[in-house]
Amino acid sequence: NRRIEDPQLREDVAVLSKAGAKPPGILSYLRAKTGKLMLLKDVHNLIHGVKKTFRGGRTDAERAIAVLDEFIESATGNTAECIVDSETNVIRVVTFQSARQKRLFAAFPEIVLVDSTHGTNVNRYKLFSFAVHDVFGLGQYVQHALVQTEEKANLALSVDAFKRNNPQWSKIEVVMTGKAMHEKEVLHDAWPNARQLLCRWHVETWLKKQCSRLGGVGRAETMKLKVIMKGIVSAESQEKYDDLKDSLLETTRKTTCT
């Protein structure tokens, strides 16, 4: 029997589908929860059915809170917080952190990596995450936050939640981010003594895009600029940096004067 009769599981499927989860992901979730060898077509039928059942039920905010409550109850030490705008009744920030993620951060608090992802779900919330490097040098997430918009106030709420639930935050020495300046300002306010670094990959990617956007630059010049930009980012000495900088200025000077 591959049918799902449990009301809570059926509601979970409705919430996951509403949040933008794909049927294969929901299938994995249901198999892990029930042990049943369900098929993908079973999931499609289930999604179709639960949408009809829950369409007129609770609001998105109420369903999200129910899922977070289940997450908190599933393991001792799990924490989650849902911050709702009092005027619009729209969720501004959702933070969640498992007990395992807390232990990971407590073990490796010195360097925190900050990552943000756009267009995470159908409601266009942004995923704002913290990660650390474990003993094997692998990145491990230690908190996730869904924010309605990436304005400073919402990011600050995410950081405040992290600090409340992780007393080892005072041991943070380095914070690595992308190129978003508003993130850097929020993180500096939260951890003023931590050194801030930019992710090398994000910097190289952004600089390469700027090379392509320079007006009047041909294909050959664009490729040359990209090589120079990459060299500047990875320069191992001041002399090497200065040489590449001169090459950059010379190349752009030639292209803008012709």
Does 164 reside within a domain? Answer: yes
Distance (Å, whole) CA 252 – CA 232: 15
- Domains in the chain: how many in total? 3
For residue 94, the one-letter residue type is V
pLDDT for residue 69 is more than 80 = yes
3-state secondary structure of 87: coil
87 with 37, same domain? Answer: no
d(CA 250, CA 256): 10
Band (pLDDT 50/70/90 cuts) for residue 243 is very high
Domain check: are 101 and 178 in the same one? yes
- 3-state SS, residue 126: strand
Distance CA 249, CA 87 (A): 52
- The reply to whether 67 falls in a domain is no
Q: Same structural domain for residues 83 and 135?
A: yes
pLDDT at 257: 43
Mean residue pLDDT of the chain comes to 83
Selection from 75, 69, 56 nearest residue 14 by Cα? 56
Q: Which domain holds residue 165?
A: 77-198
Q: pTM of the predicted model, to two decimals?
A: 0.64
- Sheet of 111-117, strand order: 79-84, 91-97, 139-147, 126-133, 111-117, 174-177, 195-198
Q: pLDDT digit string (tens) for 9-34?
A: 888 888 888 777 888 888 888 888 88
In a domain, 68, yes or no: no
In this structure, the strands spanning 91-97 and 139-147 are antiparallel
In this predicted model, what pLDDT tens digit does every residue of 71-89 receive, in sequence order? 888 889 999 998 888 888 7
Question: Is residue 16 domain-resident?
Answer: yes
- My answer on whether 110 and 155 are in the same domain is yes
Residue 194 and residue 205 in one domain: no
Residue 40 in domain: yes
Q: Dump pLDDT digits (tens) for 159-209.
A: 999 999 999 999 999 999 876 666 788 889 999 999 998 887 877 777 777
